[in-house]
Structure 1
């Protein structure tokens, strides 16, 4: 049930409490059943008039439901000379509301080519995230006029239904919930309520700076729109809701179609070192619209920031035109897309950095030589431990000869040969490393990340992949498990 405040002259305290109850209680009951602990309510508390009104309502809610924990969080961005004064205001008001408050100080990167608004928002939500447990509910004081601003900004950026859907009243947020109880309430109603209840609030001087896009809309554009069309915030919210509804249908259909295009690590042809890829076989036969929707769905599945429409079109064009052996890489932000063996992979730039050279510890060398009876060593994401060979089903690397030189390296010449334990009888001889990479479906950009074990100058194992047949521990003998 939604309260339509556009028909109300004023917002009352009872209506404010009702809005909170309608938004929060179903989620509270749902998450209480799913988690052993009961969820808490966390309010993003700036001290501005919007969050002040919501804090007032949360105070009434806390008195009615004392068993539900509530918390105010105020973020000190350090961007205004008045920031310390605002902190004191929030502490004082929290005492008045009888609600606990937490002050979080953050650093906002004010570098070139970066939106200060976006950087401050990211820092703010990172601060909120530190207080959210699974099932908790984050409350923000976004209202109907904020929704109109968000919709206009989405139009300015050329966004599709997802962007035009603007903000949802209730939506999943990481492992918690994000709830906007005031989304059907106008700015005018909020200000009237604050005046009626004599609520003191802070005025951020940056709100008058129309060099920021939101302030430009709020100060110059939206008042003129409302002057001509008084109900535009209401009708724009209706359009946003329709766009969001259509996006939900699209997302649902994409979620049903996407799995057939995913190459998961458990697939027989999937690389052991890749978590997921996107199969390209038959992808070019789809319509351009479905190509864009499915690949964007894959990027969302991988949890990466989405490219622009132009960047996405460039990615799809190059993916479909490139040959399988082409060394292609399309970059945006901190990510890039690569192609290997008919599969596309999205990777972060940090994933592609060459690992630091390994420095072997004395204990590790002793482990490989069997001088100690029990020790586990971590090599990156792998574990090496001393075990006893029970059967050939679990290959173990034989202990190194006493006088041999043991090294572990990242990367080796493709001409170096090895004979993995999985080699067939038709290939009884050692094979070149570059052929083994292909046989294991290891993409070129991952080959420099796999630790290789050498006894003297002989390649005896690739950690996590194989052990050379000639260096397998015999049944009943000790060996090294390379997981």
Structure 2
């Protein structure tokens, strides 16, 4: 590989991503290089320097991530700053903390921290360059085999792929490690050597140091043929993805649908799902999880999820957890929820604020139930005009003097209330457990909805209903409790 060929690789990789017809005087998406200072990224930094002189209207930036995992990390920072100056390229040093939890890979946590650092510099349309090469692709493919992954994992890394609102480009993916090292030697490029690369307790290093050299000794072209296999898997996966994207919408239910839970995000309809083949069940539910932008469970976890969703009784409390997420089911619909969305609310503060509004001690209180926020505040109920109220929503009457006002989260299902529902007029109170079902409130949200009591009487569930016996009369002050499904 020559310097001209390296520049051509960069041009072929990134120039097609720039819109046609943009003049050199206009701001262009920038190129951001993940710059470790190792031989691979050093070669790519050299090429990016040539590219920046050829295309001065395209901004370029090097980002070096200081993980703090090596005693030499500060020396590497100085090396990268010096080399960036030599290449006449701007550089940003990002310091991150890598904390490995139980059953977590240090490699994976460091990678996650790196990409979070890169994200801070990527605007929509920008291009993130990484120096992954053909031997890295072979390592990735072998790791995918070790983990028992399917076509998506065996597709390994793509030379071009979308990355959030930006692009991720790997210009050297068809170039071998030997070619890169030969180029660095010819150009006398100074680079760092990370001592952790010799630690074969890391899976990638084990493959790189012990396994791949033996494979290449037996089959010199294995990196090339493995890359071909990865490309074929990627083609097959694209066909699968296209078909899943075509079929998936009929299984999704959006929050705006009348049958959906207004407190949740997109759900997955289970009616008829059991009639599909196991393969399509897995593909579609993975597609749903990807649509919701959550980390995917393992194959065994996915099988457990599908088994419980399809085989558990209708009234069973389905809750399958993996990582930071879990699946729940209600009324024939599955929902993926983050653990943080199910954490107990800071109820003491919210109880105090709502009660303070009722007693006239502050102007408003705000909170959240699932995906929806609410605000309660004191207002005046509109006057009647020609027998019709001009108000579009009812207000809760303020408590009379000396009545004890209580705000609770959760109450016995046997407590009764007489809600004022626009669609239903009742003459008798109904039990709370029946009202939860009528309002399609799933069990996991019932402890998050503030309930207002005057004395021992449940007078309102914020965002859902007001007891019709406690409605503010026209012209009177009351508490605004906007409906969650309004």
TM, length-normalised to structure 2: 0.91
**Cα displacement string for residues 188-227 of structure 1 (whole angstroms, at most 9, x for unaligned residues):** 1111111111110000111111111111111111112222
Give deviations 1:304-326, integer Å, cap 9, x for gaps.
21111111112111211111101
User: Structure 1 residue 330 and structure 2 residue 320: aligned?
Assistant: yes
What is the match of residue 83 of structure 2? 93
Aligned mates of 1:21, 1:401 — CA distance in 2: 76
Partners of 2:350 and 2:365 within 8 A in 1:
no
Q: Residue 317 of structure 1 corresponds to which residue in structure 2? A: 307
Q: Give the aligned partner of residue 400 of structure 2.
A: 401
Contact in 2 for aligned 1:411/1:447 (Cα 8 Å): yes
CA distance in structure 2 between the aligned counterparts of 1:220 and 1:360, rounded to whole angstroms:
59
* Correspondence list, 1:42-57, <5 A: 42-57=32-47
Helix, strand or coil for the counterpart of 1:313?
helix
Give yes or no for contact 1:369–1:401 (8 Å, CA) kept in 2.
Answer: no
1:274 is paired with a residue of what secondary structure? coil
Matched, 1:115 2:105: yes
Distance 1:362 1:351 in 2: 22
Matched position secondary structure for 1:428: coil
> Does the alignment pair 1:385 with 2:385?
no
**What residue ranges of structure 2 are gaps of 5+ in the alignment?**
383-389
Which of 55, 66, 77 in structure 2 is aligned with 1:76?
A: 66
Q: Which moved more, 1:147-156 or 1:346-355?
A: 346-355
Give the superposition deviation at 1:82.
0.9
Shift, 1:473, TM fit:
3.2
Residue 265 of structure 1 is matched in structure 2 by: 255
Q: Report how far residue 362 of structure 1 moved.
A: 7.6
Given that 1:71 and 1:101 are in contact with CA atoms closer than 8 Å, whether structure 2 keeps it comes out as yes
CA distance in 2, matches of 1:352, 1:371: 30
Match of 2:295, SS state, is coil
Quote how far apart the aligned CAs of 1:371 are. Answer: 7.0
Q: Note closer, same or farther for the CA distance 1:32–1:294 as it changes in structure 2 (3 Å cut).
A: farther
Q: CA deviation at 1:369?
A: 4.4
Q: How far, CA to CA, are the matches of 1:80 and 1:424 in structure 2?
A: 66
Retained in 2: the 8 A contact 1:337–1:347? yes
Tell whether 2:425 aligns with 1:436.
Answer: no
**1:162-204 deviation digits (Å, cap 9, x = unpaired):** 1011111111111221111111111111111111111100001
CA shift at 1:468, angstroms? 2.3
Q: What's the CA shift for 1:423?
A: 6.2
Shift of 1:251: 1.1
d(CA) in 2 for partners of 1:361 and 1:159? 49
SS in structure 2 at match of 1:350: helix
Q: What do the CA deviations read for 1:397-417 (whole angstroms, capped 9, x no partner)?
A: 333334433332211111122
What is the count of residue pairs matched by the alignment? Answer: 469
Q: Deviations over 1:295-346 (max 9, x none)?
A: 1111111222111111111211121111110112222222222222111122
Residues 134, 175 of structure 1: 8 Å contact kept: yes
Q: Which moved more, 1:340-349 or 1:156-165?
A: 340-349
Structure 1 equivalent of residue 426 of structure 2: 427
Between 107-116 and 179-188, report the one with greater CA deviation.
107-116
Q: Which residues of 2 match residues 470-481 of structure 1 at below 5 A?
A: 470-481=469-480
SS in 1 for 2:220: coil
Query: Which deviations, in whole Å up to 9, do the C-alpha atoms of 1:35-68 show, x marking residues without a partner?
Result: x964221111000000001111111111122222
Is 2:57 the partner of 1:58? no
Q: Does structure 1 conserve the Cα–Cα contact (< 8 Å) formed by 2:34 and 2:128?
A: yes
Conserved 8 A contact 1:369-1:402: no
1:68–1:398 CA distance, 2 compared to 1 (3 A): farther
Q: Distance in 2 between matches of 1:478 and 1:38?
A: 57
Name which of 108, 127, 149 aligns with 1:159.
Answer: 149
**Counterpart mapping for 1:158-197 below 5 A:** 158-197=148-187
Question: What residue in structure 2 maps to residue 146 of structure 1?
Answer: 136
What's the counterpart of residue 221 of structure 1? Answer: 211
C-alpha distance in 2 between matches for 1:54 and 1:38: 20
> Which moves more between the two structures, 381-390 or 117-126?
381-390
